[in-house]
Structure 1
Amino acid sequence: MSTYSRDDISTSAPSRFYLAAWRWHFYAGLFVIPFLTTLAVTGMMMMYVGYFDGRDGEKITVQVPENPVALSVSDQAEAALASQPGSTLVEWLKGRSENSVSVFRIAHDGTQSMVAIDPYTGGIIESWDRRQGWYDFADGIHSDLLLGTPGDRLLEIAAGLAIVLIITGTYLWWPRNMSLIQALVPDLRRRGRALWKTLHVNIGIYVSVFLLAFLITGMAWTGIWGGKIVQAWSTFPAEKWDNVPLSDETHASMDHGAVSDQPWALEQTQMPASGSEAGVARTALGAPVDIDSVAALAASIGFNARYRIAYPRSETGVWTINQDTMSADAEDPFSDRTVHVDQYTGKVLANVAFADYSVAGKAMAVGIPFHMGLIGLWNLVLNTFVCMSVIFLSISGVVMWWMRRPKGAALRVFAPKTPDDLPHWRGAMILMLAVSLAFPLAGITLLGVLALDYLVVKRIPALRRAFG
């Protein structure tokens, strides 16, 4: 939320448009600041919990014996089941290295637990309720403010208006009476509000590209812009699996509650179904189709790093082998891959790699783990800088606004003045229309605020004094 002194603005036509852009920047910031701050804080919390402690037991290690011989995956699975009698197996997560635990996801009485197994002894190292840790608490706030659908919609509006902040902020920053180099270097000789301003402007312009990437990838998971517009038209087409029976369920059915565990490009794609002769024979001929043979198949077709195998969930369900950077399985999003196997014949029904995604799907396959800080230590450091910058921009915007307020204006918002005769209004309206069409919820909110501003605030003296 940038602020500039009215004394520095002339009454020329470009300056009047400048004032209008500043007013839009102010109103967008007024709404966005608490949400962006919350997203930055919870985002850092998630990144560091994931990096140091892990989300699904990937950081838990065991002592490797002198002659390491791992138990069969089925024996390890039996040990996991024995920890909670009456439970069923949902998923196996292979360890990243020789000293990593095997992790099994099991279901019991409507709840899901994770059990970390020593792959050499079958001993239980640790167990915990799935999606109940600090990472998941922060994720719940980051995803929908713990409010469900209303929270999702509020965050979608905030993200759209943050894009308005970036557009208007870039216009306000654009060098007019100085060189580009001067505009890119903060003037640390200034004091008071002028110092806050130069830091706000320069940090904002440097972080804007990364913030825009975070906003777009974050909005891709939202219910309206993501689920109804972008994702629906960019999902992997199940029709590419010729002569393969399809289930009525989509990949999203494999998610755990509101948490998205499946690749973005596959979530809305139909699952293949078991029970036919379709597919390509891959598991060992004559061997039972179980966790051991499917794990051997995964190794033989090139799965590396950590990967996971989901058990069939119904009579027509399939075995699903998945390696996804978004789920912290690897640091290379180009290695992402999903393979579905018929539970009766062991034939591969579908094999989807990064190269098979649409352009949008590829962008999200890279963009989402980048957003989450999962592509190496450099990514964690960069994202920390972005989050800290967002927090600073929010704080500095409030500080500058407060310092600009005249004494005795405690009950006044004191928004930037609306120009009486605004030129170039057509260009401004086209810009706002473009934002509205691209991001419907943000556009509706923006148009509503503008309508209130021009039709109500300007015509009621008390409101005009409060907001002017």
Structure 2
Amino acid sequence: MLGSQIQTSPKEAPCPTTDKTKVKSRYFMVWRWHFYAGLYVIPFMIMLSLTGLVMLFDDEIETIRYHDELIVVPESVALPVSLQLDKVQKAYPLGKVTQYIPSKDPSLANKFDVRLADGRSVLVTTNQYTGEVIGEIDRTDSWYQLANDIHGTLLMGQWGDYLIEIAASLSILLIITGVYLWWPRDNASKAGFFKIRLSNMRLLMRDLHANFAALFSFVLLFFLLSGLAWTSVWGAKLVQAWNTFPVYYTWGDKPESNLTHADLNHGSDKELPWNLEQAALPESSGHIHGATTHAGETNFTISEHAINIDSVIEQAKKLGFTQYKVFLPQSEKGVFTLAANSMGGDVTDPRLDKTTHIDQYTGDILVDVSWDDYSVLAKLMAAGVSLHQGDMSIINKVLNVLFCLVFLLISVSGLVMWWIRRPSGKTRMGIPKHFESDGLWKAGIAGLIFIAVCFPLACLALVLFGLIDWIVFKPKKSALS
């Protein structure tokens, strides 16, 4: 009897009511964090999905917009690129040609990037069969450029990049908390598990939001991580810096420039590989050629003793380049750069990535970097970027369109669901309620710490949300308690 009494003692016997209260308290605690994160993330998720759709159809949009500047009638023989370059330089005497982009199709024009005196960059198109300068495309007027700038910085520069990085980091918290909330625990949660109920609008929005978010959670995580690698803090400071040249791969005894590969990019376009951006460019070791003015200043030009662009293109063919860009030297120590990279849209298979620097005077290959030289993480990034941009194949592109539409559905259904379930009082937010039994949940705290450590900018948002939850929305204890 004593043993029986001890076993059934109220202090030691399990209390179903208490256990259910703890589970419910934990559920609402996770729901609150999901709510706070979603409140911040959803506007960004809608923006990223819409701009992503525009960027996926960049080639189609630009071909329609600039049909007259891009379309040519194919002929059997094309003129040497050096002659086309000469015509472009004569047409823009005050501009500086920085890049040559050969056409991807015989019916498309060649392009030369020209940096104008006012600092703008324009793509000048030429008919490779006649040498005619057809027209120009203002790179800043591109739909892709606008969508890309909004996608990456909200047109706010560095601060916009920080805000988007916070949103992407908090999206990972959304995924974790969302899967916890979606996973069936009782009859109520099982009722909508992988089901779409049409009985009322709130249940419909809940089922669309929860089931599609859970089903595509790994896809969303992939897009978030591959996108975060471009950000200023998590990407450039924590990840990219560990996986860039020449950390484990050096140029040997070749002189290095003060410029990096990122300096070759035009605007926000990423034309060089992610793992090369922070690495210094090599320099040409030949003699300086130029004309000295009466003021003692040197006006640099590629002299007759330097190799010309035709020689570089011939080398490109011998080296196995098919589609590529040629970056022209911009100083007496500059180099010709051949770049065929999946990040820049030159090739669709990242395993064909290749970046080669050529001495502008001797034609010697100074540096040659290919897929085999990439670190494991750099290879993952290169492959991830191609998938992220929908470059791998038409199937990849169609799937990315589907994913963008799904992310829009998840975001909009979440907003509608909140709007329907919010309290009738227009000034109330409808934040999931607190329980008096709320306390420290070790697993939850560990998850928040993990996200804060791995994604530093998310830490600021988590602290802010925590303060708001504790100070503003914590329920007041009654005087009788």
Q: Is the 8 A contact 1:93 1:102 kept in 2?
A: yes
Picking from 298, 318, 333, the partner of 1:316 is 333
The match for 1:22 among 18, 31, 55 is 31
Whole-angstrom CA distance in 1 between matches of 2:246 and 2:418: 50
| Partner SS for 1:64 | coil
CA drift at 1:125: 2.8
The DSSP-based 3-state class of the residue aligned with 1:103 is strand
Where structure 2 has 5 or more consecutive residues not aligned to the other structure, the ranges are 1-18, 288-303
- The match for 2:10 is none
How much does 1:393 deviate?
Answer: 1.2
1:251 partnered with 2:261: yes
Alignment of 1:102-251 (within 5 A): 102-109=110-117, 110-177=119-186, 185-237=194-246, 239-251=249-261
State whether residues 274 and 343 of structure 2, in contact with CA within 8 Å, keep that contact through their aligned partners in structure 1: no
Deviation at 1:55, TM superposition (A): 11
Deviation larger for 215-224 or 293-302: 215-224
Q: Which moved more, 1:352-361 or 1:48-57?
A: 48-57
TM value normalised by structure 2: 0.86
Aligned to 1:281: none
Change (3 A) 1:359 1:217: same
Please give the alpha-carbon distance, in whole angstroms, between the structure 1 residues aligned to 2:451 and 2:313: 47
Taking a change above 3 Å as real, the CA distance of residues 377 and 275 of structure 1, as seen in their structure-2 partners, is same
Q: Secondary structure at the match of 2:140?
A: coil
Residue in 2 aligned with 1:465?
none
Question: In the superposition, relative to structure 1, how do residues 88 and 406 fare at CA in structure 2: closer, same or farther (>3 Å)?
Answer: closer
8 A Cα contact 1:236 1:358, kept in partner: no
Task: Give the Cα separation in 2 of the matches to 1:406 and 1:56.
Answer: 48
Kindly indicate whether structure 1 or structure 2 has the higher relative contact order, using CA contacts under 8 Å at least 6 residues apart.
1
Matched ranges for 1:383-398 at <5 A = 383-398=400-415
Q: 1:63-462 to 2 correspondence within 5 Å?
A: 63-65=73-75, 68-109=76-117, 110-177=119-186, 185-237=194-246, 239-275=249-285, 288-304=306-322, 306-407=323-424, 409-422=425-438, 425-458=441-474
The amino acid that maps onto 2:427 is L
Gaps of 5+ in 1: 1-9, 278-285, 462-468
Q: Report the AA paired with residue 249 of structure 1.
A: L
Partner Cα distance (2:200, 2:308) in 1: 70
Residue identity (%): 38
Identify the residue that residue 61 of structure 1 maps to in structure 2: 71
1:53–1:243 CA distance, 2 compared to 1 (3 A) = same
Distance 1:11 1:413, change over 3 A: farther
**TM-score relative to the length of structure 1:** 0.88
Instruction: Give, in whole Å, the separation in 1 of the partners of 2:420 and 2:475.
Output: 27
Q: Aligned-pair RMSD on alpha carbons?
A: 2.6
Query: Hey, what's the Cα distance between the residues in 1 that align with 2:185 and 2:465?
Result: 29
SS in 1 for 2:175: helix
Which structure is larger by alpha-carbon Rg, 1 or 2?
Answer: 2
Displacement of 1:405 after TM fit? Answer: 1.9
Q: How many residues end up aligned between the 2 structures?
A: 440
Shift of 1:177: 4.2
Cα gap change, 1:51/1:13 in structure 2, threshold over 3 Å: closer, same or farther? farther
Could you tell me whether the CA contact under 8 Å between 1:221 and 1:227 is conserved in 2?
Answer: yes
1:165–1:255 distance in 2 versus 1, CA, 3 Å = same
Q: CA deviation at 1:307?
A: 0.7
1:13-62, CA deviations, whole angstroms, 9 ceiling, x for partnerless residues? Answer: 23321211111000000111111111111111121233443699899332
The aligned amino acid for 2:155 is: L
Instruction: Specify the code of the residue in structure 2 equivalent to 1:439.
Output: F
SS in 2 for 1:71: coil
Tell which deviates more after alignment, 148-157 or 416-425.
Answer: 416-425
Q: Distance in 2 between matches of 1:326 and 1:89?
A: 22
- 1:309–1:319 CA contact under 8 A, matched in 2: yes
